[in-house]
A and B are shown apart, each in its own frame.
Chain A
Amino acid sequence: RKEVEQDPGPFNVPEGATVAFNCTYSNSASQSFFWYRQDCRKEPKLLMSVYSSGNEDGRFTAQLNRASQYISLLIRDSKLSDSATYLCVVVNAGNNRKLIWGLGTSLAVNP
């Protein structure tokens, strides 16, 4: 089983829709969690960290469920510019300079 798993998609949604992605992780000692965004043929960039209590940044909401070992990303009022691949990243205790990357979930927002 991979350490970090994501549904690859693609998710095709109309503009204005709400879409949610999940990411599961296998190591219960994982301590830090992030969502990165990668546009086609570009480098990944940090979208947001995921805090234990959940956090929001504009239209984006991230949540952590430690009991079930998954994190989620909710995008409200989708824009065409949200089309990208969303990568889940986990940092495990004991080796906090090595980030564990999911394969990513592809999102296409259609007009």
Chain B
Amino acid sequence: NAGVTQTPKFQVLKTGQSMTLQCAQDMNHNSMYWYRQDPGMGLRLIYYSASEGTTDKGEVPNGYNVSRLNKREFSLRLESAAPSQTSVYFCASLREGQYEQYFGPGTRLTVT
């Protein structure tokens, strides 16, 4: 039982490059989330998916797209990376009823 896994753990991109952050959970949770965390800004919700086939914008969706590929997987895509997207990205799933979120280990992204 791996919980929530994310790849990659670290990434450096040049401005304008694209990449996809992968996330998978093996806990059969319906809801999955992508957050970014910056110093002094706390956790900010980018997108979430309440169930397979649905996605909703969070607080800071601009510059990102998501895909809920199936119940297990929820990916985040940066089409044209910008230095403002330098951050730590966390994927999470939600144990419903108890509202406990389980997080992946994070992806540390630097855009130069």
Interface string of A84-111 (1 = CB under 8 A from B): 0001010100001111011110000000
Q: Which of A34, A46, A91, A101 meets B42, CB within 8 Å?
A: A101
A87 CA / B100 CA spacing, docked (Å): 13
A44 CA / B100 CA spacing, docked (Å): 11
A97 touches B31 (CB 8 A): yes
Interface string of B51-72 (1 = CB under 8 A from A): 0000000100000000000000
Q: Does any Cβ of A come within 8 Å of B90's Cβ?
A: yes
Counting chain B residues whose Cβ lies within 8 A of the other chain, the interface size class is: 20 to 34
Counting chain A residues whose Cβ lies within 8 A of the other chain, the interface size class is: 20 to 34
B103 touches A103 (CB 8 A): no
Which residues from chain A sit less than 8 Å from chain B, CB to CB?
32, 34, 36, 41-46, 49, 87, 89, 91, 96-99, 101-104
Which residues from chain B sit less than 8 Å from chain A, CB to CB?
31, 40-43, 45, 48, 50, 58, 90, 94, 96, 98-101, 103-106
